[in-house]
């Protein structure tokens, strides 16, 4: 049954993505005839036919980098065109009620949708490829000892090193991270897409991150689409400490702070992997606040039940390409930012890189500096 559903969705989703832009940008303004109509129809039909093939070749067992680059870019472009065509369809109805006739109405809408889509594609590529902005947030932690007040915890996540060679970008991210003078550095998962030998040159600059109290890494769901254990071993070789359902206790004088990490839920399909919060917290000092790395925000339910002080997550990319964040919100309790869940706080990063389409629209990437404050000290 699952296979049948996937086979049905494979052509259905691309058909929907291309059908609405075809109607708004091709059929309506041309009246369904003429050279532009047939040229536009041919372009849409070709995109519809190629998109599933490119995505399968790029993200399937073959791991074809050229197919991934072309297919992902096409997916991002058609998603933007689809989203703004939907808005165009609403405006089309409004203008019809206002008495604006065709073909002027359809041509105005088509020109507007095309212009907005082109601008957003260009801007989205620039936003995705740029070095992320630094986002600084103070977090008040009940029970945090005075010795740890002001501790700077720098978070990168969802770097998704993949088909595009982003070696220089990786090096510049490390430069920005080190400029924040972190006490602790964290990578909250989705490190890379693809096998270690192919992606390691882009990942290796992370070995130059400087954080005197530790560099900690957890797996995201994308590690489990490939070689999760290979990436755990590689990050260990770079001097990072993978938190594979485990914790580290930090001590300053008489004060303690626990940094813990759990696997992504997709890891349950791999023997010895999968989230195990009780194991991660076993043996932690009773009064010490716990900062937990958990890739998906929806893992907050277990964290809150366990009395974790702060969970740090990624996964959502902040939606990455508007308005996809509405779909993300159906699966996750939070899309981005600091939120409170009972006595547990959750910080959800919009991510440092991008997955798939090299586009970010109304969801800028970030390198996050979380400054931990004792609850007794005013924040701000």
pLDDT tens-digit map of 255-285 = 999 999 999 999 998 999 999 999 999 999 9
Mean pLDDT for the stretch of residues 312-319: 98
Whether residues 78 and 153 share a domain: the answer is no
CA 285, 153, 190, 13 torsion-angle sign: positive
**Do 123 and 137 lie in a common domain?**
no
Residue 36, pLDDT above cutoff 80: yes
Say yes or no: 156 and 299 in one domain. yes
Arithmetic mean of pLDDT, 44-63 = 91
Q: Which two tokens stand for residue 325?
A: 């964040």
Residues 88 and 162 in one domain: no
Residue 264 lies in a domain: yes
Is the model's pLDDT at 214 over the cut of 60? yes
Share above pLDDT 70 across residues of the chain, in percent, rounded to a whole number: 96
Structural domain total, the chain: 2
In this structure, the answer to whether residues 8 and 144 fall within a common structural domain is no
Supply the pLDDT for residue 377: 43
Judge contact between 217 and 294, C-beta under 8 A. Answer: no
Q: What is the mean pLDDT of residues 338-349?
A: 97
pLDDT at 378 over 90: no
The token pair at 18 is: 């291309």
Does 194 fall in a domain? yes
Question: Which CATH number covers residue 167?
Answer: 3.60.21.10
Q: Say if residue 286 is in the same domain as residue 304.
A: yes
Three-class secondary structure of residue 146 per DSSP: helix
Is 117 in the same domain as 153?
Answer: no
Q: Is the pLDDT of residue 4 over 70?
A: no
For the cut 80, the answer to whether the pLDDT of residue 380 exceeds it is no
Q: Indicate whether 380 belongs to any domain.
A: no
Q: Is the peptide bond before 323 cis (omega within 30 degrees of 0)?
A: yes
Please determine, for residue 6, whether its predicted confidence score (pLDDT) is greater than 80: no
CA–CA separation, 204 and 357 (whole Å): 23
SS3 262: coil
pLDDT for residue 236 is more than 50? yes
Q: How confident is the model at residue 10 (pLDDT cuts 50, 70, 90)?
A: low
Mean pLDDT of 167-181: 98
Q: Is 51 part of any domain? A: yes
pTM for the model stands at: 0.93
* Residue where a domain terminates, one of 86, 107, 129: 129
72: pLDDT confidence band, cut at 50, 70 and 90? Answer: very high
pLDDT value of residue 8: 58
The residue segments making up the domain with residue 48 are 3-129
17: three-class secondary structure by DSSP? helix
3 pLDDT exceeds 70?
no
Task: Looking at the structure, tell me whether residues 120 and 157 fall in a common domain.
Answer: no
pLDDT tens digits, one per residue of 13-35: 888 899 999 999 999 999 999 99
Question: 107 pLDDT band (50/70/90 cuts)?
Answer: very high
Structural domain includes residue 167: yes
Distance CA 373, CA 380 (A): 10
Q: Please count the CA atoms within 13 angstroms of the CA of 301 that sit on its side-chain side.
A: 4
Among 94, 129, 164, residue at a domain's last position:
129
pLDDT band at 112 (very low <50, low <70, confident <90, very high): very high
> What's the CA gap between 129 and 365, in Å, rounded?
10
Same domain, 198 and 269: yes
Confidence tier at 376 by pLDDT (50, 70, 90): low
> What is the arithmetic mean of pLDDT over 212-236?
96
User: Across the chain, what does the average pLDDT equal?
Assistant: 94
Q: Which of 97, 129, 161 is the last residue of a domain?
A: 129
How many CA atoms lie less than 13 Å away from 205 in the CB half-sphere?
16
289, 143 in Cβ contact below 8 A? yes
Task: Using a pLDDT cut of 90, give the percent of the chain over it.
Answer: 91
365, with CB counted inside 10 A (0-12, 13-18, 19+), is: buried
Say yes or no: 190 and 330 in one domain: yes
Mean pLDDT for 115-125 is 98
In a shared domain, residues 232 and 121? no
Domain membership of residue 379 (yes or no) is: no
Q: Is 253 within a domain?
A: yes
pLDDT at residue 379 tops 50: no
pLDDT of residue 60: 84
Say yes or no: 83 and 184 in one domain: no
Is 332 inside a domain boundary?
yes
Euclidean distance between CA atoms 72 and 160, whole angstroms? 13
């Amino acid at each position: 049954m699952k296979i049948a559903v996937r086979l049905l969705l494979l052509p259905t989703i691309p058909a929907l993505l291309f059908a609405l832009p075809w109607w708004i940008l091709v059929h309506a303004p041309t009246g369904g005839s003429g050279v532009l109509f047939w040229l536009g129809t041919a372009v849409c039909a070709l995109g519809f036919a190629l998109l599933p093939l490119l995505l399968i070749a790029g993200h399937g067992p073959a791991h074809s980098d050229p197919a991934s680059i072309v297919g992902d870019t096409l997916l991002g472009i058609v998603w933007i065109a689809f989203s703004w065509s939907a808005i165009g369809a609403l405006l089309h109805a409004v203008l019809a009620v206002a008495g604006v006739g065709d073909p002027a109405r359809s041509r105005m809408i088509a020109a507007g949708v095309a212009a907005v889509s082109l601008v957003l594609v260009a801007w989205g590529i620039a936003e995705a490829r740029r070095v992320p902005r630094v986002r600084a947030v103070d977090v008040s932690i009940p029970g945090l000892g005075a010795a740890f007040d002001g501790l700077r915890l720098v978070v990168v996540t969802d770097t998704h090193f993949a088909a595009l060679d982003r070696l220089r970008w990786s090096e510049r991210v490390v430069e920005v991270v080190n400029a924040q003078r972190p006490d602790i550095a964290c990578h909250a998962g989705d490190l890379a897409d693809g096998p270690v030998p192919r992606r390691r040159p882009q990942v290796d600059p992370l070995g130059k991150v400087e954080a005197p109290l530790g560099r900690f890494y957890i797996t995201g769901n994308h590690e489990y689409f490939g070689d999760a254990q290979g990436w755990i071993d590689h990050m260990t070789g770079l001097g990072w400490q993978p938190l594979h359902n485990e914790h580290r206790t930090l001590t300053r004088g008489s004060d303690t702070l626990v940094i813990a990490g759990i696997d992504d839920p997709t890891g349950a399909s791999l023997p010895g992997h999968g989230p195990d919060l009780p194991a991660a917290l076993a043996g932690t000092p009773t009064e010490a606040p716990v900062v937990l790395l958990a890739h998906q925000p929806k893992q907050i339910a277990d964290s809150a039940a366990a009395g974790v002080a702060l969970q740090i997550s990624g996964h959502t990319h902040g939606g990455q390409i508007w308005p996809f964040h509405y779909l993300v919100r159906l699966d996750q309790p939070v899309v981005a930012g600091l939120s409170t869940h009972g006595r547990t706080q959750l910080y959800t990063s919009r991510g440092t890189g991008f997955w798939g389409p090299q586009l970010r629209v109304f969801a800028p990437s970030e390198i996050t500096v979380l400054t931990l404050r004792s609850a007794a000290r005013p924040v701000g």
